[in-house]
Amino acid sequence: MKEDTEMNVKTGAEHRASLRDGRDIRIEGRRVADVTEDPAFRGAVASGCALYDAQSAPEAVERLTYEVPGLGGRRANRAWQAPRSYAELVTRREALEEWAEGHVGFIGRSPDHVASCLVGMEMDPAPFEAHDLKRAGALRDYVAFARAKDLFLTYVIINPQADRSKQASQQSNPDLALHIVDEDHEGITVRGGKMLATSSVMANEIFVSTIQPMAPGDERHAVCFAIPVATRGLRLLSRKSYEAAAGHPFDAPLASRFDENDAVAYFDEVKVPWERVFATRDLRIMQAMWHETPAHVLQNYQCQIRLLVKMRFLAGIARRTAEINGTIGMPPVRDTLGQLAAEVGMVEGLLRGMEAKGRMHNGFFVPDRTLLYSAQVLTQQLYPRFVDTLRELAGGGLIMLPSSAADYGDAQIAHDIAATQCSSVAGPMERVKFFKLAWDAVGSEFASRHVQYEKFYAGAQFVTRGHSFRTFDWTRSSAAVDRILGETPEPVPATMPIAAE
Ligand SMILES: Cc1cc2nc3c(=O)[nH]c(=O)nc-3n(C[C@H](O)[C@H](O)[C@H](O)COP(=O)(O)OP(=O)(O)OC[C@H]3O[C@@H](n4cnc5c(N)ncnc54)[C@H](O)[C@@H]3O)c2cc1C
């Protein structure tokens, strides 16, 4: 059984080997030689590989993967499965939920995110076909290729911030945002930047497009393609590595493992062959690919699955905080925990509601988009509040901590730590270990980046509220208003007597 599994499903070892490909990652003034070994990235890479080890474990392979038709028994992660019924959507969600539990929701751009996006595009090729049949064929073949290889993909679909009051083509630096600079019989050549290539350091390939609205004049910026991260001319300009700064895993148990990284992707005269180009110079397809196919819904539904796992974990941190500090019996603390529990329930309820209210689209069963956008808007606001509540519950315990694991190497300090880290339910080591974890979840630089991530990964609030406004069933609301207005009697206005001449 194990041998079969190893042959038929992508494993962590396979993924690790695939990342030793000469990719160009820059950090701290240097070029990274091997991302799998580099102190800035190796913990995150190990977590990325662990995802594939999890799916290839004999006891999990059936749940987390499915047999891809026509590939002689080869399996791929369930994220690549396009559900044809409510039951298949739920089975897929259960797999994604189980997968996210490995990183308790802290790898935002885990491989199931962009796989969900591409499956959504594949579900309805009509917008791509209306753009160009050859490009639609290239996308179809690419999705089949990525699925067969169970690739880890990430995407960049936002132009770098500069002057947000101007279009991409109007920025003072014409090379700021990625655009087409040349085109020949082999393909296109692109130059410019994109933000923010989360997880790109440990992904196999990068999908490139734009989701921001475009206007006439932006045609050269209207381009969609996918290339291996190790493509010549593509440089990943990494932000600071929280993993590198984490020190001993005891001090930063999350940052040391799950710092998925974010990078500016700079495309320096990158040549993209036609078989990997999915759209060019057409403003209409740049919006249609997200909103006329189920792509935007499926990719963000995956985000809510992951977020639910993270919220459950954070609720666990909240409760443990109260237990360790002896506040769990206090009515206001129980009240706060009850509020947090209700909020986790709201996320789960919205998720299940999206499934229950799902509908058939072109032969596939897709989650309800109105409830998806409700969830996006509400969880963007919820996450920072939730984290703040955890900080409120914890008080100075998050800070009253040894400077690092190295303190335990000194007998006097170790003695003093044991004397001052007390709890009725946990020993000193357990208390310190827990509060180090709690700080990494809600207070550290890593945690702060997560607040920014949950607020912005799907666009700023005006964007997500715009989706909510656009997709809500206003007709039904308006009809209710009209019905009550219609049932409300109106007074008959008295008429003014006609004045005598
Ligand atoms: C940690 C992190 C990871 C990310 N990972 C990825 C990724 O993997 N792939 C990817 O493609 N992108 C990624 N992003 C980028 C993300 O998609 C963008 O941050 C998001 O779309 C918001 O765009 P922006 O940051 O340019 O903010 P802006 O659009 O500049 O908005 C910032 C603020 O400016 C104001 N504002 C700007 N424009 C308007 C307007 N028209 N009307 C009203 N107010 C306005 C609002 O106050 C808004 O909150 C990531 C972002 C973060 C923070």
Alpha-carbon span 393 to 405, nearest angstrom: 25
Atom 31, ligand 1: which residue's CA is nearest?
Answer: 460
CA distances from 52 to 102, 110, 199, 498 (A): 11, 11, 15, 87
Q: Ligand 1 within 6 A of 261 CB?
A: no
C-beta separation of 112 from 95 below 8 A: no
Check whether residue 362 and residue 407 sit in a common domain.
yes
User: Does residue 55 fall inside a structural domain?
Assistant: yes
Alpha-carbon span 228 to 231, nearest angstrom: 5
Q: Ligand 1 within 6 A of 452 CB?
A: yes
Q: Ligand 1 within 6 A of 109 CB?
A: yes
Q: In a 10 Å sphere around its CB, with 0-12 CB exposed, 13-18 middle and 19+ buried, how is residue 437 labelled?
A: middle
Structure tokens at 11: 């494993």
Check whether residue 344 and residue 238 sit in a common domain.
no
Atom 9, ligand 1: which residue's CA is nearest?
Answer: 156
- Which run of H or E residues covers position 263? strand 263-273
Q: How far is the CA of 456 from the centre of ligand 1 (A)?
A: 5
Check whether residue 107 and residue 248 sit in a common domain.
yes
- Sequence-distant (6+) residues with CB within 8 A of 274 are 134, 138, 186, 187, 188
Check whether residue 15 and residue 84 sit in a common domain.
yes
Check whether residue 249 and residue 281 sit in a common domain.
yes
Q: Burial code of 108-128, b = ≥16 C-beta within 10 A, e = fewer?
A: bbbbbbbbbbbbbbbbbbebb
pLDDT of residue 2: 45
pLDDT in tens, the chain (501 residues): 444 445 699 999 999 999 999 999 999 999 999 999 999 999 999 999 999 999 999 999 999 999 999 999 999 999 999 999 999 999 999 999 999 999 999 999 999 999 999 999 999 999 999 999 999 999 999 999 999 999 999 999 999 999 999 999 999 999 999 999 999 999 999 999 999 999 999 999 999 999 999 999 999 999 999 999 999 999 999 999 999 999 999 999 999 999 999 999 999 999 999 999 999 999 999 999 999 999 999 999 999 999 999 999 999 999 999 999 999 999 999 999 999 999 999 999 999 999 999 999 999 999 999 999 999 999 999 999 999 999 999 999 999 999 999 999 999 999 999 999 999 999 999 999 999 999 999 999 999 999 999 999 999 999 999 999 999 999 999 999 999 999 999 999 999 988 766
Check whether residue 319 and residue 203 sit in a common domain.
no
User: Does residue 333 fall inside a structural domain?
Assistant: yes
Q: Provide the residue range defining the domain that includes 331.
A: 294-480
pLDDT of residue 497: 86
What are the respective helix, strand and coil percentages of the chain, to the nearest 5?
Answer: 55, 15, 30
Structure tokens at 114: 């962009």
Alpha-carbon span 374 to 310, nearest angstrom: 18
Check whether residue 208 and residue 342 sit in a common domain.
no
Atom 19, ligand 1: which residue's CA is nearest?
Answer: 456
Residue 41's nearest CA partner among 201, 251, 168, 218 is 201
Check whether residue 35 and residue 143 sit in a common domain.
yes
364 forms bridges with which residues in the sheet?
Answer: 361
This prediction has a pTM of 0.97
Backbone angles phi, psi at 490, to 5 degrees: -105, 140
Q: How many C-beta neighbours within 10 Å does residue 303 have?
A: 22
pLDDT of residue 396: 98
pLDDT of residue 499: 74
> Among the atoms of ligand 1, which is closest to the Cα of residue 159?
26
| Alpha carbon distance, N-terminus to C-terminus of the chain | 106
Check whether residue 234 and residue 268 sit in a common domain.
yes
Q: Ligand 1 within 6 A of 207 CB?
A: no
Check whether residue 40 and residue 168 sit in a common domain.
yes
Check whether residue 254 and residue 353 sit in a common domain.
no
User: Does residue 487 fall inside a structural domain?
Assistant: no
**Which CATH number is 178's domain given?**
2.40.110.10
pLDDT of residue 138: 98
- What angle, rounded to 10 degrees, do the helices at 111-123 and 295-324 form? 150
- What angle, rounded to 10 degrees, do the helices at 445-456 and 369-394 form? 160
Q: Ligand 1 within 6 A of 460 CB?
A: yes
Q: How far is the CA of 229 from the centre of ligand 1 (A)?
A: 23
**Which CATH number is 303's domain given?**
1.20.140.10
Q: How far is the CA of 162 from the centre of ligand 1 (A)?
A: 11
User: Does residue 408 fall inside a structural domain?
Assistant: yes
Check whether residue 162 and residue 176 sit in a common domain.
yes
Residue 386's nearest CA partner among 466, 316, 289 is 316
User: Does residue 489 fall inside a structural domain?
Assistant: no
Alpha-carbon span 466 to 31, nearest angstrom: 40
Q: How far is the CA of 86 from the centre of ligand 1 (A)?
A: 33
Q: Of the residues 290, 324, 358, which one is the last residue of a structural domain?
A: 290
pLDDT of residue 5: 46
User: Does residue 501 fall inside a structural domain?
Assistant: no
